[in-house]
Chains A and B, each alone.
Chain A
């Protein structure tokens, strides 16, 4: 397998954009990634798209060639990947695997979602389609409800507290306030986070990520050709995707995501690193409890210690192991199909030293964790300075 490098990144702002359609967002991100990688659309040999529910949110199907042709990429394979909130992480995994295998040299990977054109109960229903419709969803489960049940069990087994959950939201808003592309650029206090409107007990509105529009894209090539495109290549050291049951009631232990653990083990092995080597990470904080479980499953802290570690500041910008310096899904926004590739863009930005006032000093080895549903798909990507 050939080493692979990210040579171009491009993101739209994440937010609510009533005047923008799905395609224009994806095209903007794709063109920015090509420009950033000093490439022309005619050089692209394959287009991989991550999108969760374009057909439900906006009615459009056949999205990959619909978008790639508008970018000016024609005649090459253009394929959409759907893996709930891990859709573009999955697209990236398959694209990087194809480049590593020698199938293509120049590949554009994009992710997009246009969510805000639907009212919240409809969005909630579309998102619930990533769960088990014949079981938990029919009973009335929403994604906040599924993660609320995960949170309750984590609190029961490990003594995790409301304050520990809220500390994740407070920290991510602090970071997101400094990110010019973030959806909700405001700082929140612990008091506000604790007093939020209840969504599904014990989660309040401040424990939940945002409903957003947005797109992200990356250009990848074999490492040996990276210098043709950029003087700041970032190497894909490890990337792995694994799966697990969709329904929450089919999992033995809901306080951990088995797929996250197995994909992390594979990615660490591929990269030749250990959890303790990872300097910073973008993790999938679709809900505050998800970030706490992520840092446990990734091996950053022992099981059950995610809450205390977060409250103590271990994951802050100036903490021992910064997590979600972008603001995470909580503050940056969560256009679900764009999230996986968006996280990769954020990690690349840190490694290149382009993160502005959020820039870390220890920035040569970062990880992106993209979760689908309540853990049925997990994609882990480890990136390092080339």
Chain B
């Protein structure tokens, strides 16, 4: 699996009511990340919660799911 690099949070949520497969993971943050280059990937955000516009960096794949970590908080205009 290749490194997805970094990207920006396009949208996100924190899931409390999980599907059967993830009952032990809740609450977890799910996000659509717009990668550098424009492609969007749905993955998880580990650690500190991220908001729309925050920068995130790819951490690893776990069971084919991309995990990201927040790096920079979006600049408020």
Enumerate chain A interface residues (CB-CB to B < 8 A): 120-122, 124-125, 128, 135-142, 144-145, 148-150, 152-153, 156, 197-203, 247-250, 254
Enumerate chain B interface residues (CB-CB to A < 8 A): 10-23, 25, 28, 30-32, 40-44, 52-53, 63-66
Additional pairs, 18, CB under 8 Å, beyond known A121-B23, A125-B20, A141-B30? A124-B17, A124-B20, A138-B64, A140-B15, A140-B18, A140-B19, A140-B22, A142-B15, A144-B17, A149-B32, A150-B11, A152-B12, A156-B52, A197-B16, A200-B30, A201-B13, A203-B13, A249-B42
Q: How far in angstroms is the closest Cβ of chain A from B51?
A: 9
On whether the beta carbons of A248 and B20 are closer than 8 Å, the reply is no
Q: How far in angstroms is the closest Cβ of chain B from A153?
A: 4
On whether the beta carbons of A153 and B52 are closer than 8 Å, the reply is yes
On whether the beta carbons of A138 and B15 are closer than 8 Å, the reply is no
On whether the beta carbons of A142 and B44 are closer than 8 Å, the reply is no
Count how many pairs of residues, one from A and one from B, have CB atoms less than 8 Å apart in the complex: 93
Given A125-B20, A249-B40, A249-B41, A140 contacting B65 (CB threshold 8 A): yes
In angstroms, Cα B27 to Cα A144, docked, is 14
* Chain A residues with CB under 8 A of B23: 121
In angstroms, Cα B10 to Cα A249, docked, is 9
Q: Which of A140, A202, A247 contacts B30 (CB 8 A)?
A: A140
Minimum CB distance partner of A155 in chain B: B52
Minimum CB distance partner of A135 in chain B: B42
* Chain A residues with CB under 8 A of B21: 125
* Chain A residues with CB under 8 A of B10: 153
Minimum CB distance partner of B10 in chain A: A153
In angstroms, Cα B52 to Cα A86, docked, is 30
Q: Which of B18, B31, B66 contacts A142 (CB 8 A)?
A: B18
* Chain A residues with CB under 8 A of B42: 135-136, 139, 141, 247-249
A-B contacts, 5 of them at CB < 8 A, read A140-B19, A142-B15, A145-B13, A198-B14, A199-B16
Minimum CB distance partner of B53 in chain A: A156
Q: How far in angstroms is the closest Cβ of chain B from A124?
A: 5
* Chain B residues with CB under 8 A of A200: 13-17, 30
* Chain B residues with CB under 8 A of A149: 11-13, 30-32
On whether the beta carbons of B13 and A125 are closer than 8 Å, the reply is no
> Among A120, A121, A145, which residue has the most Cβ atoms of chain B within 10 A?
A145
Minimum CB distance partner of A147 in chain B: B13
In angstroms, Cα B25 to Cα A142, docked, is 13
* Chain B residues with CB under 8 A of A125: 19-21
* Chain A residues with CB under 8 A of B11: 149-150, 152-153, 156, 254
On whether the beta carbons of B20 and A198 are closer than 8 Å, the reply is no
Minimum CB distance partner of A154 in chain B: B11
In angstroms, Cα B14 to Cα A98, docked, is 45
Minimum CB distance partner of B22 in chain A: A140
On whether the beta carbons of A138 and B40 are closer than 8 Å, the reply is no
In angstroms, Cα B42 to Cα A324, docked, is 32
Minimum CB distance partner of B14 in chain A: A201
Q: How far in angstroms is the closest Cβ of chain A from B63?
A: 7
Q: How far in angstroms is the closest Cβ of chain A from B8?
A: 12
* Chain A residues with CB under 8 A of B64: 138
On whether the beta carbons of A152 and B20 are closer than 8 Å, the reply is no
* Chain B residues with CB under 8 A of A121: 18-20, 23
On whether the beta carbons of A152 and B13 are closer than 8 Å, the reply is yes
* Chain A residues with CB under 8 A of B30: 139-141, 145, 149, 200
Minimum CB distance partner of A197 in chain B: B16
In angstroms, Cα B30 to Cα A201, docked, is 10
> Among A121, A139, A148, which residue has the most Cβ atoms of chain B within 10 A?
A139
Q: Which of A138, A153, A156, A199 contacts B17 (CB 8 A)?
A: A199
* Chain A residues with CB under 8 A of B53: 156
* Chain A residues with CB under 8 A of B17: 120, 124, 142, 144, 199-200
